[in-house]
Structure 1
Amino acid sequence: MQNKLYLDQRSNAFIILNLLMLWGWWMLYQLYALPVHYAKPYFALDKIPLYLEWSHLWFTTWLFVLLCICYLCTCLLLPHLQVAQVSVRWTLILSILGAGILNVMIYPVGAVDLFYYLTQIKLFAYYGENPYLTTFWPTYAHDELTPLSSFLSWPLVYGPAWLGLASLPIKFVGFDDLLTMLLAYKLFSLYCLLGCAWLIFKLLGGGAPGWYGAYVFAANPLVLFEAVANAHNDILLTLILLVALLGLRHRHILALPAFALAALVKVFILPLALGFAVALWRTRWPFRRIVGGSLCSLLIVFLLVAPFWGDGSIIERMQAAVEQQQTLRTAAPISLANEYAQTSGASAQQLEQLRIVFTASYGCLVLLALFFVRPLEHAMASIMLLLFLLVSSLFPWYLIPVFALLALHPRRLELGYMVVASLTGLLYYPLGVVAWQTEGLTLFQIQLVGATLLALPIVVFLVALLFQRRVELDQ
């Protein structure tokens, strides 16, 4: 009787905390409603005029803190509840759905990448251009999307798999109404999020572990904000990656083609091919199946790349776009080191040597992660985190696929990192506004604020992960 009372109290607490999270998302919707602000150019957190009144900024900050605290408490409570209980299961489902729908209705205040996505989709599906060879600006400077987006003079950075899949919802609703296009793409992102939750559920074998893993990922405030509110295409990448992992788990020939498809969404996932190779070796895949999967992968690459090939110009143009993207100042230590070296008067040769040192360090640490970190999904997460630190860029939305990999084995350390990284990833936005508006700070110091919020938790987590693995081996 006493155990039942404790269980009921925990169930009620779980319900109340989820309702509190929904209230937090509702308040963010009240501040940044998409139907109200969708046609305002650059309505991003660092440019919104209402931040002349600092109370709005701090209210947003406290809402982010509230969401992360409630998320932590629900994740700690859920393992002690009976998921088979109707009230718990429906609370879990409705909380994710409700938060997802509210995020669909929130303007992408974290980044206006969604408008860039729409320009590239329109360039391809409406104007009939090859976005790897033709840029939106200045070719279509007259278009209504031009004043709402940025980086329009760049060739398309993302792969043809993203272009083909992301075009589907926009083609379905048409190009006549901007708000309809925005809602269609954000609903597409929500479907991808729900698909990821279902795949995590399947990968964990269903039951209580499956529900827990799905909730840990899909109810995460940073994932919801970046995947649905800001509608970053990393959620599509994550969906296809999880399909590949499910195929790998069941030794299905389509695992390799699915990974190739994910790489044709965003190329930075390519280092995970080493993780797939290790998995094939450990599970002793039949040689014929590996050859068959590889041939299917090559066929998919050919079918998706061929229409945009342009005598090989697609490779050169994508490389140029990626190089342009790498010039952005981000929270990555490699970007921070470059900024410091440039302000210190380093030569081009010294900057190249710095890049080589970081890249070589990345290669060594990847090998360490592959053969030392267990399970394999955590090794893959480590490879991606190291890539963001030492080679690529680092933004909060880059953590979406990492969180999905960690949700497949959400132990205390992984859950702790997800909570801390979610909080710092969300605070990256309002504190970034404060840093930019604080007089006297240099660009390097502003960049250092972002690195402290995003890169430092990664470094601490990776060190703790290695230490935990060392303890496991000693035992």
Structure 2
Amino acid sequence: MLGICLLLLFFYLLAIFTLPERIHRRFLFTSTFLFGIICVLTPVVTSQDIFSYVIYARMAIIYHLNPLTATPLAIPNDPAYPHLYWIDQPSAYGPTWILLTCALQWLVNLSGYTDIRNVALMIVFLRLLGLAAHLGSVWLVWTIGGELQQKQGRISSRTRMQAALAFAWNPLLLFEACVNVHNDTIMLFFILLAIWSLVRQTPRRSVTYALTTIMLALATALKVNIVLLVPGFFLFLWTQPQRWRLLSGMLAVYMLSLLTLYLPFWQGGAILKLLSVNPGTYRNINSIAEFLSRLINSLAHFVGAPVAEEIGSPAENILHTLSLVFFLGSYGLLCWLALFSSLRLTTPIRMIRWMTLAWFLYCVLGTPWFWPWYAITFFGLFALLAMVDRDLWQKQPFLHSFSLSVSVPIFAFSLLSLYCFYTWVPYSTMIPGIDGFRWAYLRGLWTWGVLLIPLGSLALQRRSARLEA
């Protein structure tokens, strides 16, 4: 698996640095569609979440249960049930996702297949939905990037094509959209729709802002953690004329949209139970917090302490809390700078930069329970910045601009290769000399170690500047 990932990385980097001047837009979309179809027909998954999507949709359409309050334990005889990992919690995703998957399940039911065959057919429908969302996001990245380049007065066809190609052909994004069908792909589509409606700006700005707000509400009602990006939009509105009227009006639209979406599933507040059973609220995985907590537990056992619990050890709880505290501090500083400093979000481009950094901080610190598909939103936002900020990078020394261009694709592959740690050998064998520390526990360090590339280049750049001085 690691060898395959390295080969993909080589050809991916070769493509995004050599093809942009040789291809056109039609080739970009056609090739992405073909790659997506290959993924749709791949008969494996690396995550069981897709079966959760299937069973929650079946709960609503076939069994007439509320998937936001009922658990799969209510339907243990369903054909999808044996494939589930999470059987004792309601859907962790909001009404936007439930409505989309229920519509697909309704279409599957129209086909007349038996229940057992419906599971496979539903998976194909979900994968086609993921492919459509990815292609839609590619179109939005292409369109928004062109609009932003025109507003800046720095039009570069090569930069635009390179950024769009890097996003469209990103194997991690294709894999998560068309194989595992993680709904972060659909969430990114709504976020890009919100940015697109803001960037194109119709003559009636109130309509533009209302459309952006509704798209953000749909994204929030799909996966609630996207609410972290919403303040970026309101901080942008803060810099516009008649800001109090705009802020109050758009906040009302946002809350009303969420209320409309959640009300049919509310069931007397039972929906809030999910907050107490979601593992992301107390567990660490694939993060620096997990690596440190596992290492501390192993070293403590080495010096004679009792063997720590696999789940819920004191080290895990403390580092989970510390990670969240560091994130909240960083996020609060980011909001303060956007509100009171010269870095105010006066333009859509500044808002996109703020959102990109905010989501990256969330991935690094704000979610000690981390999985590769959480970064899908980051790659979509970064693709827009790559179209408008590449000229700024070129003004930097070569090493720094090269690291920014290469480190993000390498980051994508560190996330894709994370699945290698879940194969049998690294997951079942221990590192010699560290009792109880599996090779798989290096996954958090592997994922985020790629950050050393741009940080190292910046350190070399500053050292060189000091030597010249």
Q: For the superposition of Structure 1 and Structure 2, which TM-score range results when normalised by the shorter chain? A: 0.7 to 0.9
Moved more, 206-215 or 427-436: 206-215
Aligned to 1:135: 71
Contact 1:197 1:214 in 2 (8 A): yes
2:272 aligned with 1:297: no
Contact 1:421 1:454 in 2 (8 A): yes
Structure 2 counterparts to residues 15-54 of structure 1, below 5 A: none
2:380 aligned with 1:404: yes
Per-residue deviation, 1:188: 0.4
Q: 1:445 to 1:375 in 2, by over 3 A?
A: farther
Aligned to 2:119: 178
Residues in 2 aligned to 1:339 and 1:230: alpha-carbon distance in whole angstroms: 28
2:442 aligned with 1:449: yes
Moved more, 393-402 or 446-455: 446-455
Q: 1:401 to 1:90 in 2, by over 3 A?
A: same
Residues in 1 aligned to 2:380 and 2:240: alpha-carbon distance in whole angstroms: 22
Residues in 2 aligned to 1:355 and 1:444: alpha-carbon distance in whole angstroms: 19
Q: What whole-Å deviation, never above 9, does each CA across 1:65-103 have from its counterpart, x for those lacking one? A: 222211111211244x165xxxx4443222211100001
Aligned to 1:429: 419
Aligned partner (choices 171, 179, 188) of residue 221 of structure 1: 171
Amino acid at match of 1:406: F
Aligned to 1:196: 137
Per-residue deviation, 1:418: 2.4
Aligned to 1:388: 363
Aligned partner (choices 81, 88, 104) of residue 153 of structure 1: 88
Per-residue deviation, 1:294: 2.0
Aligned to 1:419: 409
Q: 1:464 to 1:385 in 2, by over 3 A?
A: farther
Q: What whole-Å deviation, never above 9, does each CA across 1:280-323 have from its counterpart, x for those lacking one? A: 234456543433322222221111111111111212x120232x
Residues in 2 aligned to 1:312 and 1:135: alpha-carbon distance in whole angstroms: 16
Amino acid at match of 1:448: Y
Q: What whole-Å deviation, never above 9, does each CA across 1:29-70 have from its counterpart, x for those lacking one? A: xxxxxxxxxxxxxxxxxxxxxxxxxxxxxxx43332222211
Per-residue deviation, 1:150: 1.3
Aligned to 2:36: 100
Amino acid at match of 2:79: E
Structure 2 counterparts to residues 29-428 of structure 1, below 5 A: 60-79=1-20, 81=21, 83=23, 88-137=24-73, 139-174=74-109, 176=114, 177-205=118-146, 208=157, 209-249=159-199, 250=201, 252=208, 253-284=210-241, 286-315=243-272, 317-322=273-278, 324-340=279-295, 344=300, 354-369=319-334, 371=337, 375-392=350-367, 393-410=369-386, 411=390, 412=401, 413-428=403-418
Per-residue deviation, 1:328: 4.6
Residues in 2 aligned to 1:90 and 1:310: alpha-carbon distance in whole angstroms: 48
Contact 2:57 2:101 in 1 (8 A): yes
Residues in 1 aligned to 2:283 and 2:319: alpha-carbon distance in whole angstroms: 17
Per-residue deviation, 1:332: 1.5
Residues in 2 aligned to 1:418 and 1:210: alpha-carbon distance in whole angstroms: 16
Amino acid at match of 1:300: S
Per-residue deviation, 1:125: 1.9
Residues in 1 aligned to 2:428 and 2:29: alpha-carbon distance in whole angstroms: 40
Amino acid at match of 1:273: V
TM-score in terms of structure 2 length: 0.77
Q: 1:465 to 1:365 in 2, by over 3 A?
A: farther
Contact 1:200 1:210 in 2 (8 A): no
Per-residue deviation, 1:224: 0.6
Residues in 2 aligned to 1:284 and 1:446: alpha-carbon distance in whole angstroms: 56
Q: 1:210 to 1:128 in 2, by over 3 A?
A: farther
Residues in 2 aligned to 1:463 and 1:124: alpha-carbon distance in whole angstroms: 51
Amino acid at match of 1:302: L
Structure 2 gap ranges (5+): 148-155, 344-348, 391-400, 465-469
Q: Give secondary structure in 2 for the equivalent of 1:407.
A: helix
Residues in 1 aligned to 2:420 and 2:313: alpha-carbon distance in whole angstroms: 34
Contact 2:71 2:90 in 1 (8 A): yes
Amino acid at match of 2:131: L
Per-residue deviation, 1:445: 4.1
Residues in 1 aligned to 2:455 and 2:184: alpha-carbon distance in whole angstroms: 22
Amino acid at match of 2:106: K
Q: 1:257 to 1:443 in 2, by over 3 A?
A: farther
Contact 2:288 2:445 in 1 (8 A): no
Count of aligned pairs: 403
Amino acid at match of 1:320: S
Moved more, 442-451 or 217-226: 442-451
Contact 2:144 2:196 in 1 (8 A): yes
Residues in 2 aligned to 1:382 and 1:461: alpha-carbon distance in whole angstroms: 15
Structure 1 gap ranges (5+): 1-59
Moved more, 343-352 or 94-103: 343-352
Q: 1:278 to 1:452 in 2, by over 3 A?
A: same
Q: Give secondary structure in 2 for the equivalent of 1:408.
A: helix
Q: 1:236 to 1:337 in 2, by over 3 A?
A: same
Moved more, 146-155 or 271-280: 271-280
Amino acid at match of 1:131: P
Q: Give secondary structure in 2 for the equivalent of 1:195.
A: helix
Q: Give secondary structure in 2 for the equivalent of 1:247.
A: helix
Per-residue deviation, 1:170: 2.4
TM-score in terms of structure 1 length: 0.76
Q: 1:283 to 1:204 in 2, by over 3 A?
A: farther
Q: 1:182 to 1:325 in 2, by over 3 A?
A: same
